[in-house]
Structure 1
Amino acid sequence: LSRSEMDDRVEWALKKAALWEEVKDKLNQSGLSLSGGQQQRLCIARSVAVKPDVLLLDEPTSALDPISTAKIEETLFQLKKNYTIILVSNNTKQIARATDRVAFLLMGDLIEMGETSRVFTVPRDKRTDDYISGRFG
C-alpha cells in the first residue's frame, strides 16, 4: 500500500472499531497512553485493518469497566454485520447478548453447540445448563 492508502486504511479501521474520533489527534502517541477500553478497540482496529474473514477475540472485555464493555459490545454488534466473530468468554451474560451461535466447551471437550437463544433457554446437556445457570464454573 502507498502511504496515503495506509493512512486511509488506518482511519477506516479506527472508524470500524469506533475509535477514530477519540484518537485522530493522537495517532503518533503510544497505544499505552489509551484507556483499557480504547486499547481493546485499538486491538480490534488492528485486526480489521488486514480485512480478515474471521475475527477471534479472546476475553475482549475481561478487565474492563461496564461503560468500556458496552462500547466493545456495540462495536461487535456493528462488526458482525461484515465479519464472522469468534468470541471466547466466560461471561455468559455477554455471550447471550452478543452472539448468534454458541459452543460450550468443558475441559477441552465440545459439550454443546447451537443457536444461542436455544442453548441458553433449552440446553440439551445438563453440564451446559449447570454452567449457564451458575451451578458450576
Structure 2
Amino acid sequence: MIQQINRYFTDIYFNLHPTQEEVISHQSVRILQMVEKKRYVMIRDIAEQLSISHNTASEHVKKLVRNGWLYKERSREDQRKVYLHLTDIGLAILRKNTELDENKLQDALSKLSINEREKVVEAFRLLSEVSK
C-alpha cells in the first residue's frame, strides 16, 4: 500500500506541478515551509529541523532575506530572539514550489464525477490531519 501511495503521489506531483521560474534549493523550500507552518521560527529551529549547523542555517536564511522572501523581526519580549517571517513574495515562491498548478489540477478534477472529487478531497483531508 505504501509503495502504491508513493507512486500515485509522485505521478500527481510530476504531472500537476507548476513550471518552475526561479532557481531554489530543496533546503530553501523546506525553510520557507517551516516559516509558513510554524508560528515562531528562529534560525536555531531551522538548524535543528534540517540537521545542519547554525552557521549553515544562518547562511541559507541570509540568502532568503536577500532574495526578499523572508524578513527578520526581533521579539518585543526578548530582544535576543529573532523570528523569521515570509514576505508576500516568499509566500508566492513557496506556493509555486510546493503546491499543484491550479489550472492543471482543475483540468484533472473536471474529468471526475462530483462524488469522485469529494472522495479525493476527503482522502487528502484525512491524510493531512493524521500527518500533523
Structure with the larger helix share: 2
TM-score, normalised to structure 1's length? 0.28
Q: Return the structure number with greater strand share.
A: 1
TM-score (norm 2): 0.28
Q: Which has the higher contact order (CA 8 A, sep 6+)?
A: 2
